[in-house]
Amino acid sequence: MRASTAMSTAVLAALSLTVAALAAVPATAAPAAATAAADTAPGTTAPAGFVGMAPKRVLDTRDSNQVPETRTARPLQEGQYFSTPIATGCHSHPPQECYGVVPADATAVVVNVTVTDPTADSFVTVSGTPGTPGTKPATSSINFRAGQTISNLVTVATGPVNRFVPWLTLYNNAGTAHVVLDVVGYYTPTATDKYGPLTPTRIADSRDDGTAGRLRGDEMRSYLVASPELGTADATSVILNVTATEGTWDSFLTAYPTGTIRPTNGSNVNFPAGTTVSNRVVVPVGPDGRINLYNHAGWVHVIVDVVGYYGPSGKGLFSALKNPVRALDTRNGYSVATGSTVQVQAVPTDGSVPNAMGVETNVTATNVLADGHLTVFPGPGQAPNTSTLNVRAARDTSNSATTAVTPEGRFSVFNHGFGLDLIADVNGYYVTG
């Protein structure tokens, strides 16, 4: 059963349009970095702790009221670099200020990036580095085809402080496209919550719950995410991988802490009817150790995996790469076979990033032969019974992942499906501190 036109309009208003699987576009994608790029360490930000927050919209190029700097609703143009404050608004009269969402000393932000109404196959890159007109970035944050609406959670170093707040720069390669940014957290040297790595653990799968079953439309369900059994007893925020499958309508899921009002803007997992879509979710924990998960429309099965947390007992501070690096691209040599595990050298081997305990990475599957899924885990050894990236035949899909690494600076990816090519880009390192 498909959603009605009225329902589709409501979903659009909430920025929860149908989101197809992230499509890497070989003809228009940003230039690939060499596979060996992880052996050199570009500049990183100062190690910092984490602050979680409810989703806060800082940009929507469709709405002049949500374009803080110019107050002009206009899609990103072809080849355009567009800089925007991480703020809900700005004023021009002296002193020139913006209403900041993150403090001026924030080193990196965690932001849900959504592209909608694109007119051409293209990519958008989000960066803290102002671009040079006439050039292209070396990497991309989201690849898409004309007419798609897609999202991805991105952790990115912040740019220069202007009008008392940090800024970000977006680049659109071809055609025009609207972009929406929702901030869900940030890193700052003064924050005390640190990253705690976990072996991914499945805490909920409604397909196996004969009592509750699928979430109904406009239904909220809570999940215990902070407990000694999970190793998250003092977690203030948790890192989840949330999957929606077998939905009957185009819809979206929103995660938020118990004891709070559900955000009116922002969504975590957007899915078309009948598909399987997963996304990384970072969400603060409610006072009872739980989080809420809300389904907007139709019926849908949900799967929740806990993959990490932030809290006082965590050990890792985050250093964002000012320029992300490509750690693996099997298109340069070999594909990932059915039932095989690939180890990714994510941390430079030259000792330039000492005490690395984890990484933020974006994993993309391409040249996929059949539907399946991938699991990212610290490794080596047997993969846990969780999923990171659900893949579909003949489609390119991506998802970000937060994972611990081995003492040698590696993490593993297990292929539960058939043959495919794998790309892994590293956005930053967690270091003990």
Bridge partners, 60 (sequence order): 180
Cα(338)–Cα(414) distance, integer angstroms: 9
What is the C-alpha to C-alpha distance for residues 269 and 290, in angstroms, rounded to an integer?
A: 19
Q: Does the reported pTM lie above 0.85?
A: yes
Q: What is the pLDDT of residue 210?
A: 64
- Determine the average pLDDT of the residues in 255-276: 89
What pLDDT shows up at residue 42?
A: 52
Query: What is the spatial distance between Cα 361 and Cα 396, in angstroms, rounded to a whole number?
Result: 17
Looking at residue 138, what is its pLDDT? Answer: 76
Helix (H) or strand (E) run with residue 12 in it: helix 5-13
At 219, which amino acid appears?
E
CA-to-CA dists, residue 134 to 32, 160, 209, 318, angstroms: 18, 21, 54, 32
- Give the whole-angstrom CA distance, residue 40 versus residue 38: 5
> Which stretch of 19-33, 362-376, 401-415 has the lowest confidence by average pLDDT?
19-33
pLDDT at 11: 37
Higher pLDDT, 2 or 385: 385
pLDDT of residue 122: 85
Please, are residues 83 and 168 in contact by the beta-carbon 8 Å criterion?
yes
The yes-or-no verdict on residue 266 having pLDDT over 80 is no
What percentage of the chain has pLDDT greater than the value 90? 66
What pLDDT sits at residue 1? 37
Mean pLDDT of 274-283: 91
| 298 pLDDT tier (thresholds 50, 70, 90) | very high
Query: Is residue 375 classed as helix, strand or coil in its secondary structure?
Result: strand
Q: What's the pLDDT score for residue 20?
A: 30
Query: What's the average model confidence in pLDDT over 102-121?
Result: 93
Region 213-218: what's the mean pLDDT? 94
How many angstroms separate the CA atoms of 16 and 326, rounded?
Answer: 30
Please tell me the distance from the alpha carbon of residue 383 to that of residue 380, in angstroms, as a whole number.
8
Q: Which among 144, 139, 143 has a CA at the least distance from the CA of 129? A: 139
User: Is the pLDDT assigned to residue 18 strictly greater than 60?
Assistant: no
The share of the chain scoring above pLDDT 70, in percent, equals: 90
What is the per-residue pLDDT for 131? 86
Residue in this structure with the two tokens 């330039």, named with its chain if needed: 352
Q: With 60 as the cut, is the pLDDT of residue 342 above it?
A: yes
Top-confidence residue, 40 or 420: 420
Q: Kindly state the average pLDDT of the residues 15-29.
A: 34
pLDDT value at residue 195:
98
Please name the residues in contact with 285: beta carbons below 8 A apart, sequence gap of 6 or more: 225, 226, 235, 236, 237, 238, 257, 291
Top mean-pLDDT range of 24-33, 102-111, 123-132, 211-220: 102-111
Average pLDDT, the chain: 87
How confident is residue 147, by pLDDT bands cut at 50, 70 and 90?
A: confident
Say whether pLDDT at 27 is over 50: no
Tell me the pLDDT band of 355, cut-offs 50, 70 and 90: very high
Please tell me which residue, 141 or 290, carries the higher pLDDT value.
290
The per-residue pLDDT for 24 is 35
pLDDT, residue 38, reads: 42
User: Is residue 211 very low, low, confident or very high in pLDDT (cuts 50, 70, 90)?
Assistant: low
pLDDT tier, 419 (very low <50, low <70, confident <90, very high otherwise): very high
CB-based contact 241:278 (threshold 8 Å): yes
- Alpha-carbon gap, residue 124 to 113, rounded angstroms: 9
- Rounded Cα–Cα distance for residues 227 and 132 (Å): 48
